[in-house]
Amino acid sequence: RTLFLYPPFIRRLQIFKFGQEVRKDGPESHFKKQGTPTMGGVLILAAVFLSTVLWSDIRHKAVWLLLLVTIGYGCVGFYDDYKKIKFKNPAGLAGRWKLLWQFLIGGVAMTLLWQSSWWPQGWPTIAFDSSINLPFVNIQLFNPVLVPWLYLPLALVFVVVGTSNAVNLTDGLDGLAIGPIMVATFTFLVLAYAAGTTLADFNIASYLRITHVEGAAELSIFCAAVLGAGIGFLWYNAYPALVFMGDVGALALGGALGMLAIFTKNEILSAVLHGVFLAETISVMLQTTYFKWTKRRTGEGKRLFLMTPIHHHFEKLGWPEPRVIVRFWIVSVMLALVALASLKLR
């Protein structure tokens, strides 16, 4: 349905002059993107929210928490985009305030996941589980459990907030972020179904020797909604893009991927599945650290990459933008196949 709603939505964005602000220090080829309608993620979130509410069990704890993080992070991203447009400054909301709200919203969600007694009696729930599943390792042989006060902050920082910001860093080329997002979402759909479904007397999770998560199959509806909305968005975000996702979409969908990893007990595996997002983040961290270190030692900062996030490095090497995008998509598919292979290779 989003496929048909985007044309009038894009026209509205153009009327209200909700256009992208491009980095002045970015690749010269990006200057032509200045003014391209942004905040296209609003329609993605609207479609995902309505589809999830209509088709899933809205009383389910996991559904509520997933929507809380998705819509909450979307609001943070919306305000960030609004500031960029209003003040014509690509910096937007200050990083410390963005992180503060991400930690606050994510912290509330993680606390509600932990405290099941705070949930209405009789409503479907999803059990809090602080165990750590290692990819390709049989949980019957090795399944360490962390105390809640250690698991909760680690999961919040590295899985939820980390994934949210990593996706946001990746969203720098036409279609670059939404492709791996959809690949990861489809993978989580399979993982959620496998972890939470019992067919007659056949328990899929027990057969695959992964953690059985009661109620996890309900998350597959949310995943399907993201896939449907993502396809509609990609139609107009593919190179050359007619609309950009904006932080409203990137932060929200990144946070959702993090929550899906926690619900399906694939926190560690998500580092493999989200390898493209992880590489983008690590490239920025390495670039910043190396620049500061060399400047302190020699008085002149040096760079490891031509430009970060790393997709800009390949652009600077002379790769056409479509080549960078498609090759990153291919890598994300390969990583998803590795993640799915872990279901059986244990």
Per-residue pLDDT, averaged over 58-86, amounts to 94
User: Taking the model in full, what pTM does it have?
Assistant: 0.95
State the angle between helix axes of 41-55 and 246-263 in degrees (0 to 180), rounded to the nearest 10.
40
What pLDDT, on the 0 to 100 scale, is given for residue 26?
66
| Residue 24 confidence (pLDDT) above 80 | no
Do the Cβ atoms of 70 and 250 come closer than 8 Å?
no
Which helix (H) or strand (E) element contains residue 313? Answer: helix 310-316
Report pLDDT digits (tens) over 220-241: 999 999 999 999 999 999 999 9
Question: Looking at residue 174, what DSSP letter applies?
Answer: T
* Those residues with Cβ within 8 angstroms of residue 298's Cβ, 6 or more apart along the chain or in another chain: none
Token pair listed for 58:
């809205």
Per-residue pLDDT, averaged over 250-258, amounts to 99
pLDDT band at residue 25 under the 50/70/90 scheme: low
Report pLDDT digits (tens) over 91-136: 789 999 999 999 999 999 999 999 877 777 777 788 889 999 999 8
Per-residue pLDDT, averaged over 59-86, amounts to 94
Lowest average pLDDT, out of 28-37, 57-66, 325-334, goes to 28-37
* Those residues with Cβ within 8 angstroms of residue 289's Cβ, 6 or more apart along the chain or in another chain: none
Backbone angles phi, psi at 203, to 5 degrees: -95, 110
Per-residue pLDDT, averaged over 4-18, amounts to 91
3-state secondary structure of 99: helix
Residue closest to 47 by CA, chosen among 70, 16, 21, 15: 70
| Residue 89 confidence (pLDDT) above 80 | no
- Tell me how far apart the terminal alpha carbons of the chain are, to the nearest angstrom: 40
CA–CA distance, 304 with 296 (Å, rounded to integer): 16
